[in-house]
Structures are given as C-alpha cells and as structure tokens.
Structure 1
Amino acid sequence: MSKILDHLEEWIITFLMGAATAVIFLAVLHRHGAGYPIPYVQDWLIALNFSWAQELCIYMFVWMCKFGAAYGVRTGIHVGVDVLVNRLPTDWRQKAVLVALIGGIVFTGIIGTLGLTFVWENGMHYAVFHALGLATGDLPEGPTTPDLGWPTWVVYSAVPLGSFLMCFRFLQVMRGFLRTGELPQHDHAHVEGLTADEPSFDSSVLATVKGGAK
C-alpha cells in the first residue's frame, strides 16, 4: 500500500495520458475514416458519436495538471526562485525553507477545502444523499457537462483531490527536511529502472560519436 501511495501520481498521470492518447487517436481515425465513401463502413462510422472526445481529453489533461503538481512537490521539480534563500546563512535558510513549506501546506489546504466545498454544493451533496437513500429535499442535482453529460462535480473533484494530495506531499517534504535538512532534488540525468552499470542514452551516444570520430 505504501508503495502505491509513494507513486500514486505516476499511476494516475500514466493512466490519464495513455487514455487521452487513445481517445484522440480513435477520434482522428473516426474523423478521417468517415470521409471515405466506403459502402456500409462510412454509414457505420458516421453513426458513431465521437463529439465527446475533445471534452473528455480536456478534463483528463486538467486532472493530469493537478496531480502533476503534487508529483512536482514530492520530487522537487516545482519551479522556484531560490537564489536568495541559498545565499542565506544556514539557520536563516532553514527558517526560510520552513516558512515556504508551511505556506505551501496552508495554501493547498485552503484551496482543497474551498474546492471540496464547491464540489459538495455543486451536486455532490445530492449524489451522496441519493446514493445513501436519504431525502434530498430541495438539494440541487447540479449541472452536467455539455457533451458527456457527466455531473460537473465529478470533473471539478480534481481540485480538492489534487490540492489535498499536494498538501500531503508538502507535509512529507517538511517532515523529511526537519529530519535530514534536505529537500527532494530531481536528477534530470536519472532514468527510472536504469542501473548504475548500464550506460544512459547520452553516454552511449557520446561513446558512439567518439568511436566514429577515431
């Protein structure tokens, strides 16, 4: 379970990216294939409705961005200007980093709470009560998306889920910083699954170029 939690963002982003690629690919094939006057096949393709493909891909990319932000916090690849912080004395640098991490925790916690409140009032309240068999009264059912017809609160759930996950990652980073004094650093030369004994792409290409030059 801990292994899944440690790489939750990668699993979600990989699934969404693969699904978006597949949907776009099929939508493009459908659009071009329906233009060829092939008996029966053209009629069958025209009857298929792919008008929802663009909307679905937009939603998937929004979810990728929210969980990608949490991944950035966890791995230390978030864009930041730390020139001044790195020039501070050690004690002041630690305090500045802690202030920044606490600010990130508070900010993402507030955004997650506001997002959850919005989602709850946008139709999730009705959906939960309806699923539990409770009286919904005058609760609004909530709007739906134009093409897919999905409840919009499902789509907007990316905001509280992604923000609370970012908040959790900020807490993890702060705990690690208090224990070790180190922040997560992303090594751009590291390739996941590649051992130290195996040459990276850059080193193998460089060796080939040098061999050819001789």
Structure 2
Amino acid sequence: MKFLDHLEEWLIAFLMGAATIVIFIAVIHRYASGMPIPGLQDWLIQLNTSWAQELTIYMFVWMAKFGAAYGVRTGIHVGVDVLINRMDTPWRNKFIVFGLLSGALFTGIVGTLGASFVYELSHHSSTSEVLELPMWMVYSAIPLGSYLMCFRFLQVAWNFIKTGDLPKHDVSHVEGLENEDLAGSRV
C-alpha cells in the first residue's frame, strides 16, 4: 500500500499549489483591471474572479483535515504525554495503546457523524454562495479526513504494538537527503 504512505503530502501539496495559483491569478486580475488600458481593462472587468476567495477557503479546510491525518502518521499531531512518559514501561505502553485506540475511536465517530451529515445534505439543494457547489461536496472533507485520521491512528497503534516505536518528527531530517550528504555542510 505504498500509495497510502504519502497520500496526505500529495493532497496537501496539490491543494496548496492550486490555492496559490488561484489567489495569484485573482490578485493579478484585481490590479490589472484597475490599469487604464483601453480594451484590456474592459475585458478584465468582465471576468469574474469573486469565486477565488471561496474556493481557497474550501481548499484550506480540506488541507487542515488531511494535515491532521499527516500529523498522526508522522508524530507531529498534538499530544500530551508528559505524565505517560514518566510511567514504568508496561503502564506507559498500555496508556499509549489506549490513547491511540481512543483517537481512532473518536475520529471514527466524527467520520461517521460527518458521513451521515453529508448524506443528509446530499438530499437537499443547498449550494455554496459564489461557486454554487453542492455543499455536500464541501463538507465531504469531514468524513474523508476523519476516516483517514482514524486509519492513521490504527496504523500507528499497530506499529507500536509490533515494534514499540512511535513516529517521531525530526525537524532536521529532509526525506531523500542522506546524512552523509550533509556531513560537510554542517556549521
């Protein structure tokens, strides 16, 4: 399942890149349509980019939902483990598994409630204000992101039970760049 190994990064990178392009185009359009160039100004004023803000808001909501799943997978999601890390190993391990399974249960419940909400919403004709997208499409980020996060909690729990290792985020590590490549460039 190599496809799922970096799903969040691909989705977040795509959404972030697309949002950047959309906002760049909207800003260029706004400034260029204020330039008194006959013909060009008239043509630009006729173009409507009011949808750009709404679209990027939705894109950032989706990024946040998938970013939380990424955080669980990589070990950077918020967690309070000060007391747990002071426990003896057998108790510590039990509490870690309990916490991971609780996270999976919670996100599974949120995903299920979100899916129920999206299903109910799909039977109504509500649309977004500017883009006129069906709102069920916008709110689909809730069940999709929550179920992915639930899957990541279960994945981390399974790996912890098998190996005793939790994902640790190393801010100095760049994937694809080996340590010996950096040996000469350290300051």
AA in 2 matched with 1:178: I
Cα distance in 2 for residues equivalent to 1:26 and 1:121: 35
Q: How many residues align?
A: 187
State the shift of 1:197 in Å: 1.8
Cα distance in 1 for residues equivalent to 2:89 and 2:186: 41
Report 1:39-50 matches (<5 A).
39-50=38-49
Over 2 Å off, 4+ runs: 203-206
RMSD between superposed Cα atoms in Å: 1.2
TM norm structure 1: 0.85
Determine the structure 2 residue equivalent to 1:73: 72
Cα distance in 2 for residues equivalent to 1:93 and 1:114: 31
Determine the structure 1 residue equivalent to 2:180: 197
Identity of aligned residues (%): 64
AA in 1 matched with 2:135: T
State the shift of 1:204 in Å: 2.9
Cα distance in 2 for residues equivalent to 1:158 and 1:23: 20
Report 1:25-174 matches (<5 A).
25-123=24-122, 140-174=123-157
**Where does structure 2 lack aligned partners over 5 or more consecutive residues?**
none
**Where does structure 1 lack aligned partners over 5 or more consecutive residues?**
124-139, 207-214
AA in 1 matched with 2:103: G
AA in 2 matched with 1:12: L
Summarize deviations over 1:21-70 as a string: whole Å, max 9, x none: 00000000000000001011001110110000000000000000000000
Summarize deviations over 1:134-157 as a string: whole Å, max 9, x none: xxxxxx433000000000000000
Determine the structure 2 residue equivalent to 1:23: 22
Determine the structure 2 residue equivalent to 1:136: none
Cα distance in 1 for residues equivalent to 2:148 and 2:80: 23
Determine the structure 2 residue equivalent to 1:6: 5
Mark the structure with the bigger radius of gyration. 1
State the shift of 1:4 in Å: 1.6
